[in-house]
Structure 1
Amino acid sequence: MKLFTATELLLAAAAPIHAAYTWQNVKIGGGGGFVPGFVFHPKTKGVAYARTDIGGLYRLNSDDSWTAVTDSIADNSNWSKWGVDAVALDPQDANKVYAAVGSYTNSWDPNNGAIIRSSDKGATWSSTSLSFKVGGNMPGRGTGERLAVDPANSKILYFGARSGNGLWKSADGGVTFTKVSSFTAKGSFAPDPSDTNGYNNDPQGLTFVTFDSTSGTTSGATSRIFVGTADNTTSSLWVTEDAGTTWSAVAGQPGTYFPHKGVLQPTEKALYLTYSDGTGPYDGTLGAVYRYDITARTWKNITPVSGSDLYFGFGGIGVDMLKPGTIVVASLNSWWPDAQLFRSTDSGTTWSRLWEWTSYPNMNLYYSQSAAKAPWVKTGFLDVDTKDLGWMIESLVIDPFDSDHWLYATGLTVFGGHDLTKWDTTHNITIQVLADGIEEFAVLGLASAPGGSELLAAVGDDSGFTFASSSALKTSPQKPWMDPIFSSSTSVDYAGASVKNVVRVGNTAGTQQVAVSSDGGASWNIYYGADTSMTGGTVAYSANADTILWSTSANGVQRSQYSSSFTSVSSLPATAVIASDKQNNTVFYGGYSSTFYVSKDTGSTFAKAGALTGATAVRDIVAHPKIAGEVWVSTDVGIFRSTDYGASFTKVSTALTNTYQIALGLGSGSNWNVYAFGTGSAGPRLYGSGDTGATWTDIQGASQGFGAIDSCKLAGSSNTAGQVFVGTNGRGVLYASGSLSSGGTGGSTTSTTTTSRTTLSTTTTKATTTITTTSKVATTTTKATTTTVKTTTTTSASGSTPTGTVPQFGVSEGFS
């Protein structure tokens, strides 16, 4: 038996306790966001990856599903690594994968970018920091791939940077990178040079790097390499014939549009390129497709359409490696009536379309469409919009080992199928939603109602979803939140004493952005007390579901009772954090900066209440789901608890500080667990307490990243003991279950100064969905666009939680 020293005992006591929580995704399914690129391994069948703009990297499985492989690299300090601007595979080793990661090149991202590398298909990663930023969620993110491995030498990689940083090379398998001084082109295009926030005024740099595997070698490296740049001049495609020693603009190239993709067909010795007058992903009104004959050094314009039929640019291009001359190209954006895809089997000499007009407004569709793996895609989008084929089609690829297998991505989901060659025979293919496992949703609000819906998830770009029970978490919903559908739902809440009553708010100006449900979120109705000018923010529902308090994004705090018009609540500051008491219908809570407020008259007026000693920012307020008057407050100095309606507060622990979202969830027996994002003994991450906050346990663990904790949403299950939900900014909703007991890494309870207030009394007062139509009548349904982005904020002077959004940059996750 070992005897421990006093020092060893102290170290053991200080070490963070980690509970055995295994995290998995709530299955919303269908992707939910923009996938800018796919890469298949050229020599090993079945190896492929999909990169997302804010949700990391996914690996393809044999059953068409996808597995996230970068969860472990995106912790609180490295949240931007979920933005993937490029991915590359080693042609000589199917286990090796590389990615250029980083979300923004402007001030929103405090970190420089990195090239990450794995030798076990993404199970583990090593990282090389760059001296500049990478823009996985910046304009032009669908071009590429900007990163490539030399097919003749696995130690050589090239990376085309943004922001005027040029071309970079690694000669040691991605461990180090040096700038290629002989390459002087920078790619100078910026969508809006006058944009002061840095999002649209940054030069987009190099758009793709493509090795010519047919060119032979120079000193053991591939001799010929093509590089595209974000320029619409006759020097936007560059080539080296001596393995990068010298570079020149390819002679005779077109100079009107920006090059998006440059894909080699080695048997033909041809480079196929798509061009657009915008760099994507949500612009482009003109464009072209070209074939460059490498041997003859001649260009051929093979654009599928001309004249009035050409009203879009071109983005995605799939080149069949088994059938030389067979290619598929897609419109980058055809906002009405739908995207268009073209197929050629003769190297672009002739083309056939995936749909065509008969006599307007009727269309012949040469495809059927299935959303069996994510039914909500059909009910919420395909059935209510003209754009069945999608938008923002920057990524399109044909499996190099299977001419029937293809994939393409839109701003919403991943489409594809396994009968592509039927296009050439019956001219009728089956397009499926093939995004199973990709969960790229930006989650803006979560709730779990005791005795009601297990999970209510408000999401960006796709409205939101209801999961009625814990068993439903593994099944993609039949529909999103509809009637009304919001481009984004920013908050959701339930009535604590009448849990089937739910309210949500959205962020699209011009329509009423409040909806209510009386069946737990299964169906919805417009709340007619809302006007069309108020949007965003957070919402709180009174216990008996008669009053809505709304902290809007731009119109201050508003109140409506019995469906009356919203009126301003002048006694609460604008953007205040709000919550309702879940059992006392007359009580609402508010917080702003260092001040906690209470209303005793259903939100009509608020008064300052108990002190939050030492706090300068109220981040979150949570009322106990079953106990009137118990309220928890998250602040920049930790968590406070009140059992007398906020009249007085106790700081629950000194071990957890700088906290953000908090939640209560059903624990063991009659206990309720407390969950919180904050800084504890294991650093900034997710902690849980089973003893009313006296001690805290790390329930996140080192292998699960949630991104920046200040942008995560949190809910404890009110129905399933020990279950907790985390809403992320780009990886959907993750959940896990476990047991929490006392004896974690917390400290003693510390009392603080209190202010007396009058005690308040409690008042009780079909599984597979397939579209098989062969004709269609076009309509003109459109949707508003939003962009989800992320800024890291460690404090909030006003006390409000950062939303992480900026208006109208188009579509980040991809709602059109």
Structure 2
Amino acid sequence: MRRRTFTASVGAAAAAAAVTAGTLPAWAREEGGRGGDAYVWRNAAVNGGGFVPGIVFNETEPGLIYARTDIGGCYRWQEDSRTWTPLLDWVGRDKWGWSGVVSMATDPVEPDRVYAAVGTYTIDWDPNNGAVLYSDDRGDTWGAAELPFKQGGNMPGRGMGERLAVNPADNAQVYLGTPSGNGLWRSVDHGRTWAKVESFPNPGNFVVDPSNPTLADNQGVIWIDFDQIGGKIYVGVADPADPLYVSEDGGATWQAVPGAAEALGSADGNRTIPKQSAVDNTNGYLYVVTGYDPGPYNGAPASGDGGRIMRLATQTGEWTDITPAYNPRGVIPGFGGITVDRQNPGTLMASTCNNWWPDEILFRSVDSGATWSLSWDYAEGQDRHDRFAMDSSGSPWLSWNGEDQLPQYAVKHGWMIEALAIDPHDSDRIMWGTGATIWGTESLTQWDAQGDLIGEVEAGQRVPLPVEQFTVGVRAEGIEETAVLDLAALGGTLVSAVGDVGGFVHTDLDRAVPMIDTGWSTGTSVDFAQANPDIVVGTGNVHGNEKGHVGVSTDRGKTWRNAAPVEGVPGDGHGGTVAVTADGSRILWTPGDSEVTPVYSTDLGETWNPVQGLPAGAKIRSDRVRASVLYAFSGGVFYRSTDGGATFADTGATGLPTGAVEDFRAVPGHKSHVWLAGRGDEKEGIGGGMWRSKDGGATWKRIAVFETAESVGFGKAARRSGYPAIYTSAEIDGKAAIYRSTDGGSHWSRINDDDHQWAWSGSAITGDPEIYGRVYLTTNGRGIVYGDIAD
């Protein structure tokens, strides 16, 4: 594939389809005579960046694989390019919760059919109910069957399952396990309509913590699996006293499986639930992994082990505890995933879930669980030995800018491993999902030829045995599931602030890069000096008090150093927003969620001084021309500084919303020009949308066409002497979309279409200062998206 840099042209053969402006009113189509441009949309490559709770192989067709994410939609594997294609970019802001995918199922009888259970939260954060999406063309297009309840794609327990399952004996039947006491549901028409299975007796009762709203939901019906030898249907339920049910008459009636409570519902005195299952339809076994917590975060309970691996002989009803007897850590914190090799059914693998230190463990058995081998082990002390080497070159940020500290490696097997799948057509291929990526190999069976990792000699000393390691590499290329909070386009360089993984500096949009080396747990804000773009600043949430929140680069983002901490700002979180003056001489920082008022620095963050005249939490932006001028907004009041941010004063502006301003930015090349995006304020009688000022915020004009606006940014002008192109994520006539103006805001056109909406894209937007028409935008789970005018 041709690598695309910042200066490369946009070819018509791009992977993403071109989009049109669609049918718009005259004011939107005209746009100075340049409306209706077709756009091509892509991602700046990060490769991963978030939790992959499910990977599903089709059992009939080789190479047909799906992956689901908790907030960033789902993907289909492309075998020829070894990349993933996003399938839910069409989800719009009105149904943004559908980007959280709680389960997927691929049809083993008709492989073109695929299903996705969607809905992000079972609590009121998501105003909409969930749905089951169905596709007859492998996810290229979808229909939706809306449900009368919510689903939890980003709730506790999202790595359990799969909650969706196609009946291989009658593929028109699709089952859905639901949370919140809604029971077991079934479709008999390929997912078009759904009804509750009234004969199913148990909706579950397991609650993690009834005092915590996000942990108080009943985990419900967890998974469905099919015994094709005896024609039985098994259903796992989050109820330690009654965790497993079976139907022997095609789902008409259901009975509790004898012995299941003792086998699955307790472990060393801890209540446990059946998190995942796998069926061996050759030897007649149902395997179940349990945990005391639905995951994906928690480790072992305060005492005792947190889970088991149990084997049920489906023909005789005999239960066998096949939990590995040994773990280098000493206890099993709980299990996450389990998978069976369909080519060699006596071979199975399981993963720990949140074996936080030093690393997760993969277990492998070639004798139906009678004995196990481990992915790594200790010799004497903490001398660690591994079966495979981790190659993170596909996502170099996976080292987290750290170094190996044996036995803890900078590049880990992962954490939160619940997606674990051996290719049913190829015993050598496995993929597993983590909280950050997908790992995989096509050399898995080399494991079996290695023998033991550790041997014993006299006096019980454990010594390493020689093994020829195979390689495990990144298999997340094309999956972009970061939540992006801010962007700065310098021209040839794109700087980002990103949730959970800090941020990045891209000079090649097709290449994943290391993360910014500042220690941020989440990047929250970035800026650069307009007249001296070598100076780049950023801020982010941090853990503890070891480093300051603000990072500074003087070489266009190549290297970074941490500014000094500010007294009174707590170490955890509190990234806030940051700005730098047009000449780079001063940095201004507003700590987030803190009572500390904004501060400024005249020495690139070596020391800080309190700003006078601003309340805590005020957002600050710099004028892009005059180095002495900065702007701030808080609580409906617009402020201006003319002394480099040392003091601010109220401009006296009226008519601005009091608390619903999402973003404001100053215009490059135009002193005193400021644009502001907001939602309006019904109580104050102030409409939402966009406002602009040409006098440094003293007076404002509302752009009435917008009902709401969430971000505003600027890029290269359409004409040499023209006003910079203006971009916004906003709403017109009830349609949330990406809009552009090339004539100073007199006319606007929509530049995305209904196939490219990315659920929500409101945190920040910016054009490119050197490439006309290019726009970068943030998403909440689909990474950094950018668009170019198609050739």
TM-score, L = length of structure 2: 0.87
Name the SS for the 2:389 alignment partner: strand
Task: Name the CA distance, whole Å, in 2 between partners of 1:530 and 1:519.
Answer: 24
Greater CA drift, 615-624 or 302-311: 302-311
Shift of 1:682: 7.1
Partner of 2:279: 264
Q: Does 2:557 align with 1:521? A: yes
Task: Name the CA distance, whole Å, in 1 between partners of 2:92 and 2:402.
Answer: 33
Partner of 2:455: none
- Decide whether aligned partners of structure 1 residues 730 and 109 sit closer, same or farther in structure 2, where only a CA change above 3 A counts: same
Q: Does 2:201 align with 1:177? A: no
> In structure 1, what residue type is equivalent to 2:665?
V
Partner of 1:598: 640
How is 1:215-614 mapped onto 2 (pairs within 5 angstroms)?
Answer: 215-216=230-231, 224-233=232-241, 235-253=242-260, 254=263, 255-256=265-266, 257-285=272-300, 286-306=306-326, 309-378=330-399, 380=401, 383=404, 386=409, 388-426=412-450, 428-450=469-491, 454-468=493-507, 472-477=508-513, 479-482=514-517, 484-511=518-545, 512-531=548-567, 533=570, 535-556=574-595, 557-561=597-601, 562=603, 563=605, 565-569=607-611, 571-609=613-651, 611-613=653-655
Q: Does 2:26 align with 1:13? A: yes
Shift of 1:588: 1.3
Shift of 1:204: 1.2
* Contact 1:610/1:649 (<8 A) preserved: no
Task: Name the CA distance, whole Å, in 1 between partners of 2:748 and 2:365.
Answer: 61
Greater CA drift, 276-285 or 439-448: 276-285
* Contact 2:598/2:615 (<8 A) preserved: no
Task: Name the CA distance, whole Å, in 2 between partners of 1:425 and 1:510.
Answer: 45
* Contact 2:598/2:616 (<8 A) preserved: no
Shift of 1:383: 5.0
Shift of 1:43: 0.9
Identity %: 39
* Contact 1:331/1:340 (<8 A) preserved: yes
> In structure 1, what residue type is equivalent to 2:590?
S
Name the SS for the 2:96 alignment partner: helix
> In structure 2, what residue type is equivalent to 1:501?
I
Task: Name the CA distance, whole Å, in 2 between partners of 1:114 and 1:329.
Answer: 30
How is 1:93-108 mapped onto 2 (pairs within 5 angstroms)?
Answer: 93-108=110-125
Shift of 1:564: 5.2
Partner of 1:45: 62
Task: Name the CA distance, whole Å, in 1 between partners of 2:613 and 2:758.
Answer: 36
Deviation readout 1:549-570 (Å, 9 max, x if unpaired): 2222222541121235445446
Task: Name the CA distance, whole Å, in 2 between partners of 1:560 and 1:14.
Answer: 43
Q: Does 2:720 align with 1:673? A: no
Structure 1: gaps (5+ residues) = 1-9, 217-223, 741-816
Deviation readout 1:26-46 (Å, 9 max, x if unpaired): 1112x1111101111111111
Shift of 1:14: 7.0
Partner of 1:763: none
Name the SS for the 1:499 alignment partner: strand
> In structure 1, what residue type is equivalent to 2:570?
S
* Contact 2:53/2:69 (<8 A) preserved: yes
Task: Name the CA distance, whole Å, in 1 between partners of 2:176 and 2:523.
Answer: 38
- Decide whether aligned partners of structure 1 residues 382 and 21 sit closer, same or farther in structure 2, where only a CA change above 3 A counts: farther
How is 1:69-108 mapped onto 2 (pairs within 5 angstroms)?
Answer: 69-72=87-90, 74-108=91-125
> In structure 2, what residue type is equivalent to 1:726?
L
Task: Name the CA distance, whole Å, in 1 between partners of 2:201 and 2:326.
Answer: 35
Deviation readout 1:183-204 (Å, 9 max, x if unpaired): 1212211221011xx2111111
- Picking from 656, 664, 686, the partner of 1:621 is 664
* Contact 1:454/1:718 (<8 A) preserved: no
* Contact 1:723/1:737 (<8 A) preserved: yes
* Contact 1:514/1:530 (<8 A) preserved: no
Shift of 1:418: 0.2
- Decide whether aligned partners of structure 1 residues 355 and 667 sit closer, same or farther in structure 2, where only a CA change above 3 A counts: same
Name the SS for the 2:316 alignment partner: coil
> In structure 2, what residue type is equivalent to 1:199?
T
Name the SS for the 1:688 alignment partner: strand
Greater CA drift, 117-126 or 207-216: 207-216
Task: Name the CA distance, whole Å, in 2 between partners of 1:377 and 1:529.
Answer: 26
Aligned residues: 710
Task: Name the CA distance, whole Å, in 2 between partners of 1:12 and 1:547.
Answer: 45
Task: Name the CA distance, whole Å, in 1 between partners of 2:368 and 2:565.
Answer: 59
Partner of 1:752: none
* Contact 2:185/2:197 (<8 A) preserved: yes
Partner of 1:719: 770
* Contact 1:382/1:388 (<8 A) preserved: no
Greater CA drift, 381-390 or 592-601: 381-390
TM-score, L = length of structure 1: 0.84
Task: Name the CA distance, whole Å, in 1 between partners of 2:39 and 2:695.
Answer: 33
* Contact 1:656/1:678 (<8 A) preserved: yes
- Picking from 20, 26, 37, the partner of 2:44 is 26
Q: Does 2:712 align with 1:688? A: no
* Contact 1:547/1:559 (<8 A) preserved: no
Task: Name the CA distance, whole Å, in 2 between partners of 1:382 and 1:89.
Answer: 40
Task: Name the CA distance, whole Å, in 2 between partners of 1:564 and 1:431.
Answer: 43
Task: Name the CA distance, whole Å, in 1 between partners of 2:249 and 2:502.
Answer: 52
Name the SS for the 1:377 alignment partner: helix
Name the SS for the 1:693 alignment partner: coil
> In structure 1, what residue type is equivalent to 2:486?
G
Partner of 1:766: none
Deviation readout 1:331-365 (Å, 9 max, x if unpaired): 11111111111111000111111111011121111
Task: Name the CA distance, whole Å, in 1 between partners of 2:425 and 2:359.
Answer: 30
Deviation readout 1:410-439 (Å, 9 max, x if unpaired): 111100100000000035331111100000
Task: Name the CA distance, whole Å, in 1 between partners of 2:362 and 2:310.
Answer: 16
Q: CA RMSD in A?
A: 2.1
Q: Does 2:168 align with 1:151? A: yes
Structure 2: gaps (5+ residues) = 1-22, 30-34, 267-271, 301-305, 451-466, 680-687
Partner of 1:733: 784
Name the SS for the 1:645 alignment partner: coil
* Contact 1:536/1:552 (<8 A) preserved: yes
Task: Name the CA distance, whole Å, in 2 between partners of 1:229 and 1:41.
Answer: 25
Name the SS for the 1:175 alignment partner: coil
Task: Name the CA distance, whole Å, in 1 between partners of 2:326 and 2:24.
Answer: 73
Shift of 1:523: 1.0
Task: Name the CA distance, whole Å, in 2 between partners of 1:657 and 1:181.
Answer: 45
Task: Name the CA distance, whole Å, in 2 between partners of 1:138 and 1:278.
Answer: 13
Name the SS for the 1:54 alignment partner: coil
* Contact 1:667/1:739 (<8 A) preserved: no
Greater CA drift, 153-162 or 653-662: 653-662
Deviation readout 1:497-529 (Å, 9 max, x if unpaired): 221111111112423211111111111101015
> In structure 1, what residue type is equivalent to 2:538?
R
* Contact 1:558/1:566 (<8 A) preserved: no
